[in-house]
């Protein structure tokens, strides 16, 4: 225990006890970020802000929401929307926020893939990020159930039914997850708990791991250049800011981030105030009815690509039913991104457009995901079903081909 | 050396206690998510079919689904593998959800068939699709016959025979 001398100021009093100076240095003023980056590097801060907005708007909704099949629908559509002062605002922030957070997650994720920010020491950043994607997906799904509209009910029905495809234990597992033989009050209350407590806690934990994972390999840069951060930091601290390749997180990096954030928030609140309807499916304004299936069930836009993979296999192949094939493909689609660092066999850390073969793979994948998303919303009949099948197969083939493509690339560029 | 082995023993002892506690709490957590006893008993619906009126559709609710029970008149022909005999009468026992998109078809007792209002699908009295978009006959719920009562949710010999006839679907 160090000896404490009389503090000269309140700041010093706290600094003696909490080491504020040291903490601010480690977390902010001497946390080094590469200089050679662009606005795509602001997505992490945007996501942190979005998550905060979702938590805050969620807290306000939580005060009036009732997780009970008899009361849930009206507590949202009558109490919160009509009676609570600015209740509509918090609901629209929450609903639009849930949609936009996935838009930013996808941009963040594909920025990482484009610049190769998932390999050569950055594997844990990537894996913790993918874990966050899965957790946000679970959070989105459980939250969608809460207004207890027709889409809430049938999305819950269809997605929990998926677990029934697991061999041997499937049927029992579905009943266990729902707490009943069908989606019912017990299902609503347990998913309410998951949505407001367990998954948010897990998300906060995963965010901490994600940030911590950045500490040792450091943030990637536009050129994929590797350099000695300590050396560059010394240059910066010695006053040679111009030749140093790094800037401190605060105030330099964050000031630029806040500029991007400003634009983003204008866009976000434009949606909240003038275009919230895209996040409010009209079907979900009919109260849940277990005895009446809507004519056409589809998820929110951010799940469409994986939903399309799920139903892309509509016929039997080699004695395996279409349903099972769809489930297997769906499971692969949701897990395959985790192993990106090992599927990419090329040592190159460069933007995709500077990589001879990977660039084709990257843009092919983007195009395929767009096709999957568009067709995921359409009824799976006639030609649509075949487009769904072809694009689902393309998705799987792209990932099977990735190690070979990148291996060939490694050979071509000779270990660079 | 002596200290080391002592610390090792404490570590192992704690590990054993923690493992037992961990497993026990996992069991408790799993059970907490199990369907409640009231849900399990509600998972079986019993219907006394002897009191039903012939050619008038009875709709029971079993596990959140509508179940059609139709008592046949003398002149209605039973279908082997789709109808069941309880006492002296034949009955159709089917899940009342259209196999097209899950709407509930209505029974027309003058024509003795089912008509789905959503997309115009039609089923005969035994639930076989005869017109429109439905891809297959109405599904059959597991049931058991106990005297004059029908127990929905349990697989009786009659149900198993019907399933075997339908090709083990």
Q: Which residues of A touch B66 (CB under 8 A)?
A: 291
Q: What is the pLDDT of residue B99?
A: 81
CATH 2.40.50.140 fits B42-165, yes or no: no
Pairwise CB contact (< 8 Å): A180 & B66 = no
* Cβ-based interface (< 8 Å): residues of B facing A: 30, 33-36, 39, 43, 63-66, 97, 101-104, 118
The model's pLDDT over A330-361, given as tens digits with 9 standing for 90+, comes to: 999 999 999 999 999 999 999 999 999 999 99
Pairwise CB contact (< 8 Å): A182 & B33 = no
For B59, residues 6+ apart whose C-beta sits below 8 A from its C-beta are B66, B67, B68, B69, B96
The model's pLDDT over B119-150, given as tens digits with 9 standing for 90+, comes to: 788 999 999 998 888 888 999 999 999 888 99
Reported as a pLDDT band with limits 50, 70 and 90, residue B98 is confident
Chain B residue with minimum CA distance to A176: B34
Q: Where are the domains of chain A?
A: 19-297, 301-416
Residue B169 scores a pLDDT above 70: no
Which of the residues B39, B104, B154 would you substitute to probe the A interface, choosing the one with the greatest number of A C-beta atoms within 10 Å? Answer: B39
Q: What is the pLDDT of residue B3?
A: 61
What is B55-102 written as a DSSP string?
TSEEEEEETTEEEEEEEPPTTSPP-TTTEEEETTEEEEEEE-S-TTT-
Chain A residue with minimum CA distance to B41: A180
Residue/partner pairs of A52-59 with CB below 8 Å, 24 or more apart: A53/A93, A53/A97, A54/A93, A54/A94, A54/A97, A54/A98, A54/A101, A55/A200, A57/A90, A57/A91, A57/A93, A57/A94, A57/A97, A58/A94, A58/A196
Q: Where are the domains of chain B?
A: 2-34, 42-165
Chain A residue with minimum CA distance to B96: A291
Q: Which residues of B touch A176 (CB under 8 A)?
A: 30, 33-35
Q: How far apart are CA A217 and CA A211, in angstroms?
A: 11
A315–chain B Cβ distance below 8 A for any pair = no
Chain B residue with minimum CA distance to A296: B101
Nearest by CB to residue B35, choosing from A180, A293, A295, is: A180
Query: Distance of alpha carbon A345 from its chain centroid, rounded?
Result: 25
State which residues of chain A have pLDDT below 70: 1, 415-416
Give the pairing type, strands B113-115 and B106-108: antiparallel
Residue whose C-alpha is closest to residue A113's, from A411, A356, A338: A338
Pairwise CB contact (< 8 Å): B33 & A181 = no
Cis peptide before A251 (omega within 30 of 0): yes
Q: What is the pLDDT of residue A77?
A: 97
A190–chain B Cβ distance below 8 A for any pair = yes
Pairwise CB contact (< 8 Å): B34 & A291 = no
Q: How far is CA A161 from CA A7, A182, A194, A262, A298, in A?
A: 64, 9, 18, 42, 15
| pLDDT > 70 in chain B, percent | 96
| Phi, psi at B167, each rounded to 5° | 90, 30
Q: Which residues of A touch B152 (CB under 8 A)?
A: none
Which of the residue ranges A320-324, B30-34, B80-84, B125-129 would you say has the lowest mean pLDDT? A320-324
How far A295 CA sits from the closest chain B CA (Å)? Answer: 6
A168–chain B Cβ distance below 8 A for any pair = no
For A59, residues 6+ apart whose C-beta sits below 8 A from its C-beta are none
Q: What radius of gyration, in Å, describes the C-alpha atoms of chain A?
A: 24
Pairwise CB contact (< 8 Å): B65 & A295 = no
Q: What is the pLDDT of residue A92?
A: 98
Q: How far apart are CA A399 and CA A392, in angstroms?
A: 11
Which tokens hold the place of A386?
A: 């075949």
Q: How far apart are CA B107 and CA B104, in angstroms?
A: 10
How far A297 CA sits from the closest chain B CA (Å)? Answer: 10
Q: Model ipTM?
A: 0.79
Task: Name the one residue in this structure whose structure tokens are 């709709």.
Answer: B59
Residue whose C-alpha is closest to residue A338's, from A130, A118, A134: A130
Q: How far is CA A408 from CA A21, A68, A355, A400, in A?
A: 50, 57, 11, 14
How far A383 CA sits from the closest chain B CA (Å)? Answer: 18
Reported as a pLDDT band with limits 50, 70 and 90, residue B167 is low
Pairwise CB contact (< 8 Å): A293 & B102 = yes
Residue whose C-alpha is closest to residue A246's, from A233, A230, A257: A233
Per the prediction, chain B carries an average pLDDT of: 88
Which of the residues A164, A173, A175 would you substitute to probe the B interface, choosing the one with the greatest number of B C-beta atoms within 10 Å? Answer: A175
Chain B residue with minimum CA distance to A180: B35
Q: What is the pLDDT of residue B168?
A: 47
A189–chain B Cβ distance below 8 A for any pair = no
Nearest by CB to residue A295, choosing from B34, B39, B101, is: B101
Q: Which residues of B touch A179 (CB under 8 A)?
A: 33-36, 39
Looking at domain A19-297, its CATH architecture is Up-down Bundle (1.20)
Q: How far apart are CA A377 and CA A305, in angstroms?
A: 9
Pairwise CB contact (< 8 Å): A180 & B39 = yes
Pairwise CB contact (< 8 Å): B65 & A182 = yes
Residue whose C-alpha is closest to residue A44's, from A256, A199, A294, A202: A256
Nearest by CB to residue A291, choosing from B43, B104, B118, is: B104
Residue whose C-alpha is closest to residue A178's, from A167, A190, A170: A190
A255–chain B Cβ distance below 8 A for any pair = no
B87 — alpha (psi -120 to 50), left (phi > 0) or beta? left
């Amino acid at each position: 225990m160090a000896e404490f001398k009389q503090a000269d100021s309140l700041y010093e009093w706290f600094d003696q006890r909490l080491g504020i100076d040291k903490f601010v240095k480690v977390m902010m003023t001497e946390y080094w970020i590469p200089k050679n980056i662009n606005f795509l590097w602001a997505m992490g801060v945007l996501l942190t802000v979005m998550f905060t907005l979702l938590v805050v708007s969620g807290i306000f909704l939580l005060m009036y929401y009732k997780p009970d099949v008899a009361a849930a629908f009206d507590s949202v559509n009558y109490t919160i929307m009509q009676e609570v002062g600015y209740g509509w605002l918090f609901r629209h922030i929450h609903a639009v926020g849930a949609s936009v957070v996935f838009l930013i997650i996808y941009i963040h994720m594909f920025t990482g893939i484009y610049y190769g920010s998932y390999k050569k020491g950055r594997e844990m950043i990537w894996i913790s990020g993918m874990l966050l994607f899965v957790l946000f997906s679970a959070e989105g799904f459980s939250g969608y159930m809460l207004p207890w509209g027709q889409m809430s009910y049938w999305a819950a029905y269809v997605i929990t039914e998926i677990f029934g495809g697991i061999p041997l234990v499937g049927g029992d597992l579905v009943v266990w997850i729902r707490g009943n033989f069908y989606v019912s009050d017990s299902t609503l209350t347990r998913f309410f708990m998951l949505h407001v407590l367990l998954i948010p806690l897990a998300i906060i934990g995963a965010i901490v791991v994600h940030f911590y994972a950045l500490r040792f390999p450091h943030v990637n840069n536009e050129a994929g250049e590797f350099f000695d951060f300590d050396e560059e930091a010394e240059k910066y601290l010695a006053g040679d800011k111009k030749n140093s390749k790094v800037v401190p997180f605060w105030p330099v990096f964050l000031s630029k981030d806040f500029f991007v954030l400003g634009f983003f928030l204008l866009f976000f609140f434009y949606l909240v105030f003038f275009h919230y309807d895209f996040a409010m499916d009209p079907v979900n304004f009919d109260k849940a009815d277990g005895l009446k299936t809507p004519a056409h069930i589809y998820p929110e836009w951010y799940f469409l690509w994986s939903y399309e993979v799920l139903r892309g296999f509509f016929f039997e192949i080699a004695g395996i039913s279409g349903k099972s094939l769809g489930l297997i493909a769906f499971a692969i689609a949701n897990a395959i991104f985790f192993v990106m660092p090992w599927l990419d066999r090329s040592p190159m850390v460069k933007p995709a457009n500077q990589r001879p073969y990977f660039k084709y793979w990257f843009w092919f994948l983007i195009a395929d995901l767009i096709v999957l998303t568009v067709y995921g919303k359409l009824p799976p009949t006639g030609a649509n079903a075949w487009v769904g099948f072809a694009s689902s197969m393309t998705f799987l083939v792209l990932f099977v081909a990735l190690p070979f493509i990148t291996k060939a690339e490694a050979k071509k560029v000779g270990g660079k | 050396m002596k200290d080391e082995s002592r610390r090792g023993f404490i570590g192992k002892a704690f590990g054993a206690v923690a493992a037992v506690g961990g497993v026990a709490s996992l069991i408790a957590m799993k059970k907490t998510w199990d369907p409640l006893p009231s849900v399990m008993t509600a998972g079986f619906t019993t219907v006394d079919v002897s009191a039903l009126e012939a050619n008038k559709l009875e709709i029971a609710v079993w596990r959140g689904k509508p179940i059609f029970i139709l008592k046949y008149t003398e002149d209605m022909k039973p279908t082997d593998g789709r109808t069941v005999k309880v006492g002296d009468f034949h009955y159709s026992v089917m899940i009342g959800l259209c196999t097209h998109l899950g709407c509930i078809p209505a029974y027309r007792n003058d024509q003795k068939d089912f008509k789905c209002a959503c997309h115009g699908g039609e089923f005969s009295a035994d639930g076989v699709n005869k017109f429109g978009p439905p891809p297959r006959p109405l599904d059959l719920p597991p049931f058991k016959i106990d005297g004059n009562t029908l127990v929905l949710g349990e697989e009786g010999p009659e149900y198993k025979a019907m399933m075997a006839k339908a090709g083990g679907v």
